[in-house]
């Protein structure tokens, strides 16, 4: 489908039309950061945001989510949780957040498939937004191959100053665009030229942070498995789990029971979990197979750079740099990858 252009003014109308029928989540300012939030007013939308504190993962895999509900009594009654009905639009997701969404889509389509996740994804349209310049020093999306990603997006926008260049990536995206605005005109050669100008600027401003091609990362990690580097970095780690909670590709979870005060009914909840917490790999008999901080830290790095790649063919790390930004011990993924590569 041929790309369109939409003036900034036309875009406002487009967002308004979307908001009238859907729950629309997009980047908004919060204190000195940006977060994805359901929009109350189209004016709150900040399409100039560098990066959101957390990715839009929460809309597809909520931090707390009922897996099933039950009524207790003489005969137990089970029911699956009610499906959300209001369609959703996630607006302004950057390439790293779409790369991570693509990965989660593959994860939860695996095996029997998770209808809760897939159902939310099916009902949600994603409108991506290109990064015309790096968000900050932490990001290494270029190295991880997620900068050019459009995965899972129905529409993809590039800011051309006074207008957006709109790539239509799915029939649903086209339907959504045509249904919400009449001001998206076919892109002319001047628009393509402006789009190319953005690409040229990007090529100058995004710099590689890793001294090796990412395809070698699994091998580099493998060679580091027995290195004291993990012990050295692990010493600094507080095992707080912030890196997991902030990560757009982390999908490990705990399952918890939530029983009503009446003791007559309850829910089984899926809750985000962290492989950095000390009891994550503990078993009933009391054995803990990753008791040491260094082992847990190494496990996280190996998941991101090797295991997930082996299972799903795409990096478990999208290079968004969120884990580095939130780490209280200032442990950096980029520096760690550099250190293990430098030690070869």
Partner 1 sequence: MSVPATSTSVASTPAATPFLPKLARIVAAEQFTPKEKWFRVVPHDGRPLAHPPMSFVQVSVFGVGEAPISVCSSPTREQAFELCVRAVGSVTNAMHQLGVGDTLGIRGPFGNGFDPSAHKGKDFLFVAGGLGLAPARSLIQYVLDRRQDYGKVTILVGARTPGDLLFQGDIQEWVSRPDVQTLVTVDRPAEGWKGNVGVITTLFKKIKINPAATLAVIIGPPIMFKYAVLEALSCGIPENRCICSLERRMKCGLGWCGHCQIRGTYVCKEGPVFTYEQVKRLREGI
Residues 284-343 that bind partner 1 (CB under 8 A): 284-287, 289-290, 295, 299, 302-303, 306-307, 310-311
Site string for partner 1, 58-77 (x = CB under 8 A): ---------xx-x-x--xx-
Among 96, 168, 217, 275, binds partner 1 (CB under 8 A): 275
Q: How many residues bind partner 1 (CB under 8 A)?
A: 79
Tokens 């004291």 belong to residue: 228
Residue 203 interacts with partner 1 (CB under 8 A): yes or no: no
Q: Which stretch binds partner 1 (CB under 8 A): 188-196, 232-240, 255-263, 319-327?
A: 255-263
Min separation Cβ 117 and partner 1, Å = 9
Q: Which stretch binds partner 1 (CB under 8 A): 50-58, 156-164, 184-192, 273-281?
A: 273-281
Min separation Cβ 146 and partner 1, Å = 16
Nearer to partner 1, 70 or 206 (CB): 70
| Cα–Cα distance list, 125 to 25, 29, 33, 155 (Å) | 10, 22, 24, 8
Contacts of 145 (CB under 8 A, 6+ apart): 99, 214, 315, 319
> How far apart are the C-alpha atoms of 294 and 235, rounded to whole Å?
7
**What residues numbered 224-253 form the site for partner 1, per CB under 8 A?**
225, 251-253
**What residues numbered 35-54 form the site for partner 1, per CB under 8 A?**
none
Nearer to partner 1, 300 or 322 (CB): 300
CB atoms closer than 10 angstroms to residue 80: 11
Min separation Cβ 313 and partner 1, Å = 13
| Cα–Cα distance list, 230 to 297, 307, 319 (Å) | 7, 17, 20
Min separation Cβ 232 and partner 1, Å = 19
Among 228, 232, 259, 328, binds partner 1 (CB under 8 A): 259
Helices (H), the chain: 8-21, 57-60, 95-109, 115-123, 141-144, 171-180, 189-205, 217-224, 229-236, 242-246, 293-302, 308-312, 322-326, 333-342
Min separation Cβ 176 and partner 1, Å = 6
Nearer to partner 1, 224 or 332 (CB): 224
Q: Which of 180, 182, 155 is nearest to 17 (CA)?
A: 180
Nearer to partner 1, 31 or 257 (CB): 257
CB 150 within 8 A of CB 89: no
Residue 165 DSSP label: E
Nearer to partner 1, 99 or 142 (CB): 99
Query: What is the token pair recorded at 338?
Result: 């550099």
**What residues numbered 86-105 form the site for partner 1, per CB under 8 A?**
87-89, 105
> How far apart are the C-alpha atoms of 190 and 159, rounded to whole Å?
14
Query: What is the token pair recorded at 217?
Result: 């990362």
Residue 185 interacts with partner 1 (CB under 8 A): yes or no: no
Q: Which of 244, 219, 224 is nearest to 326 (CA)?
A: 244
Nearer to partner 1, 163 or 299 (CB): 299
Give burial (CB, 10 Å; 0-12/13-18/19+) of 18.
buried
Site string for partner 1, 112-151 (x = CB under 8 A): xxxxx-xx-xxxxx-------------------------x
- What burial letters (b/e) apply to 241-260, b meaning 16+ CB within 10 Å? bbbbbbbbbbbebeeeeeee
Among 82, 189, 257, 313, binds partner 1 (CB under 8 A): 257
Nearer to partner 1, 77 or 205 (CB): 77
| Cα–Cα distance list, 180 to 24, 28, 44, 127, 150 (Å) | 13, 21, 19, 13, 21
Q: Which stretch binds partner 1 (CB under 8 A): 15-23, 134-142, 195-203, 328-336?
A: 15-23
């Amino acid at each position: 489908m041929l790309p369109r252009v939409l003036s900034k003014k036309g875009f406002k109308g487009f967002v308004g039309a979307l908001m009238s029928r859907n729950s629309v989540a997009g980047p908004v300012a919060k204190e000195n950061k940006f977060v994805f939030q359901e929009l109350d007013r189209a004016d709150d939308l900040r399409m100039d945001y560098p990066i959101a504190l957390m990715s839009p993962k929460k809309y597809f895999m909520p931090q707390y989510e009922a897996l099933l509900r039950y009524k207790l009594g003489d005969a137990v009654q089970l029911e699956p949780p009610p499906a959300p009905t209001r369609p959703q639009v996630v607006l302004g997701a950057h390439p790293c957040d779409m790369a991570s969404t693509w990965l989660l889509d593959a994860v939860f389509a695996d095996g029997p498939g998770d209808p809760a996740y897939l159902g939310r994804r099916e009902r949600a349209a994603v409108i991506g937004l290109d990064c015309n310049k790096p968000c900050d020093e932490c990001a290494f999306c270029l190295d991880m191959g997620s900068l050019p990603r459009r995965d899972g997006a129905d529409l993809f926008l590039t800011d051309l100053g006074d207008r957006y260049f709109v790539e239509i990536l799915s029939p649903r995206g086209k339907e959504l665009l045509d249904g919400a605005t009449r001001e998206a005109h076919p892109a002319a050669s001047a628009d393509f030229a402006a789009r190319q100008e953005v690409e040229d600027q990007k090529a100058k401003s995004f710099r590689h942070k890793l001294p090796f091609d990412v395809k070698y990362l699994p091998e580099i990690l493998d060679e580091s498995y027995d290195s004291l580097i993990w012990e050295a970095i692990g010493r600094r780690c507080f095992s707080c789990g912030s890196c997991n909670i902030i990560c757009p590709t982390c999908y490990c979870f705990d399952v918890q029971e939530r029983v009503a005060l009446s003791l007559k009914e309850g829910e089984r909840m899926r809750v985000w979990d962290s492989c950095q917490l000390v009891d994550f790999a503990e078993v009933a008999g009391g054995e803990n197979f990753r008791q040491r901080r260094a082992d847990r830290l190494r496990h996280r790095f190996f998941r991101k750079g090797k295991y997930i790649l082996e299972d799903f063919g795409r990096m478990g790390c999208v290079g968004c740099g969120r884990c580095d930004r939130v780490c209280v011990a200032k442990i950096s993924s980029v520096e760690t990858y550099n250190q293990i590569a430098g030690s070869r």
